[in-house]
Amino acid sequence: MKTLSTYTIWLFDLDGTLTDPKEGITKSVQYACSKFDIPADDPQTLETFIGPPLALSFREQFGFSEQDTKQAIAYYREYFTDRGIFENNVYPGITELLTSLTSQRKRIMVATSKPHSFAQRILKHFDLEQYFEHIHGSELDGTRSDKAELIAYMIRQYNIDPLQTVMVGDRKHDMIGAVRNQVLGIGAGYGYGNEKELMDAGASYYAPTVDSLRELCDFSSDSRFIS
């Protein structure tokens, strides 16, 4: 039996876990849709774009071909690169959580499907960059946008022990990526995936709020066991 306090490496998703990017992402999708004359007035219907790789979301939601998907992503980035990227907010309590983990000398990294160039700009803008040993995302061409592939890459790149690693994320892709790499998954229920999605995908823990996530990371208690 072991407690969460024994895990030395903490990987965090970005969108829906550290920050709430809804406004910027949905506006960028709406911009792309306008180029295809597709009505997308209700941002609620576009929340599915928060978390998964963009190519997957465009194909699943609009049935785009490979060529149209590439063009849609290009349009999306026309808006996102300078405007949508900062239409974003840090979840209350996240800074305190990261400060606590840092004080416990945990190694903290970002593992996001968002291109790493965008992730780095966002974290720097919100003064969160200082907390992370490494910030990793996909390439602009979509390479390593699959979370399992990304985590596997980080394990190899930094000689990480999966059995000492936690992945915190708000969508099933985060939990699937964790399970496939023998990493412990914590579902962030305050983001854009619900409890069923996260637990069905293999989460070992579910944190419905940032406060409850902080409680899980309160290592003064030895009552939170993992079998």
Q: Which residues are catalytic?
A: 13
Residue linked to tokens 């349009």: 75
Residues 6+ apart with CB under 8 A from 137: 14, 110, 111, 112, 113, 114, 115, 116, 117, 118, 119, 144, 150
End-to-end CA distance of the chain: 5
At position 162, the amino acid (one-letter code) is: P
CA 20/CA 50 separation, integer angstroms: 9
CA 100/CA 16 separation, integer angstroms: 20
Query: Helices 66-80 and 22-35: crossing angle, nearest 10°?
Result: 130
> Is the torsion defined by CA of 223, 178, 28, 37 positive or negative?
negative
For 115-120, which contacts have Cβ atoms below 8 Å and span 24 or more sequence positions?
A: 115/139, 115/140, 118/80, 118/81, 118/85, 119/14
